[in-house]
Structures are given as C-alpha cells and as structure tokens.
Amino acid sequence: MNKEQKIALIRGIIKVWGGFSPSEADETFGLCVGKLGNLVGMVEYLSMDCIDVSVFTPSSYSSDSLQDYTMKYEEATDEVLDALVSLCRKYNEVMLEQEEE
C-alpha cells in the first residue's frame, strides 16, 4: 500500500466514525511520531485532516505536554502511517462491536 492509499484508508474510517483518540481503540496504545533528544511526540487525536501531537519528556513525572502541534498525514513517515492504519483498523473493529451491542 502506498502513502496515498494509507491516508485514504485512515480518512475513510474517520469519515465513518469521526475523529478519535488512540485510547478509544486500544487502552495500551501509544504512538510515537518522532523523537528528538529526550523529547517524544505522541499522537493525541486523529481527525479527518490532521493528527494532534503532544510533546513529552518521558522521564518527567508530569503528564502535562511541553508543546502541542498538528501534523498533516502527508508529513508522517511510512512507519507512522503503517501504525496509524493499524490503529484505525482496530478502532473500526471496536466501533463495529459497539454498534452490535
């Protein structure tokens, strides 16, 4: 699957169910979009057009982010897009299960 197909799949699932936080799909899921020194960018929310990212210091005792920013899907690496596709598929399964209840 190429980059455009991955982005289309992500957006297709979000179009059906709406934007979501990774924790809605998998309680233990933490998706890192990048590291710089001791800083880590973690996905906080996926919407139709972009990813909300929060920057943390993993060694910190605070759960507050140092910085928040948005990232376009087109800016994500193939590795991050693969993880997002997997996350979106899992979210789709969760939503289908909830719909059946």
Q: By three-state DSSP, how is residue 11 classified?
A: helix
Indicate the average pLDDT of the chain: 92
Residue 100 lies in a domain: no
Residue 101 lies in a domain: no
Whole-model pTM: value is 0.89
Residue 70 lies in a domain: yes
**For the chain, percent of residues with pLDDT exceeding 70:** 97
Confidence class for position 27, pLDDT limits 50, 70, 90 = low
Q: Does 29 have pLDDT greater than 70?
A: no
Pick from 36, 39, 25, 33: which is nearest to 90 by CA?
A: 25
Domain range for 49 is 3-92
Q: Does 41 have pLDDT greater than 80?
A: yes
d(Cα 25, Cα 73) in Å, to the nearest integer? 19
Residue 77: Cβ within 10 Å count: 11
Helix, strand, coil % (nearest 5) of the chain? 45, 25, 30
Domain count, the chain: 1
Model pLDDT, residue 28: 62
